[in-house]
Amino acid sequence: MNNLAQESIFFGMAISLLGYEIGLIIKRKFKMAIFNPLLIAVVIVILFLAVFHVDYETYNSSAKYLSYLLTPSTVCLAVPLYQQLHLLRKNAKAVILGITSGVIISLTSVLLLSKLFGLNHQQYVTMLPKSITTAIGMGVSEEMGGIVTITVASIIITGILGNMMAELICKIFRITEPVAKGIAIGTSAHAVGTAKAIEMGEIEGAMSGLAIAVAGLLTVIMASFYANLM
Q: Residues 6 to 35: which contact other proteins by CB under 8 A? A: 12, 16-17, 19-20
Contact positions with other proteins (CB under 8 A) in 110-149: 110, 113-114, 117-119, 123, 127, 130-131, 133-136, 138-140, 142-143, 147, 149
| Separation of CA 47 from chain center | 22
- Please state, in angstroms and rounded to a whole number, the distance separating the CA atoms of residues 103 and 188: 8
Among 125, 154, 226, 227, binds other proteins (CB under 8 A): 154
Nearest in space to 95 (alpha carbons), one of 198, 175, 183, 176:
183
Beta carbon of residue 190, minimum distance to other proteins (angstroms, whole number): 10
Number of residues that make up the chain: 230
- Kindly write out the interface string for residues 52-71 of this chain, putting x where it contacts other proteins by CB under 8 A and - elsewhere: ----x--xx--xx-xx-xxx
Beta carbon of residue 114, minimum distance to other proteins (angstroms, whole number): 7
Query: Which 8-state DSSP code applies to residue 34?
Result: T
Among 102, 125, 218, 226, binds other proteins (CB under 8 A): 102
CB atoms within 10 A of CB 113: 12
Are 220 and 140 spatial neighbours (Cβ–Cβ below 8 Å)? yes
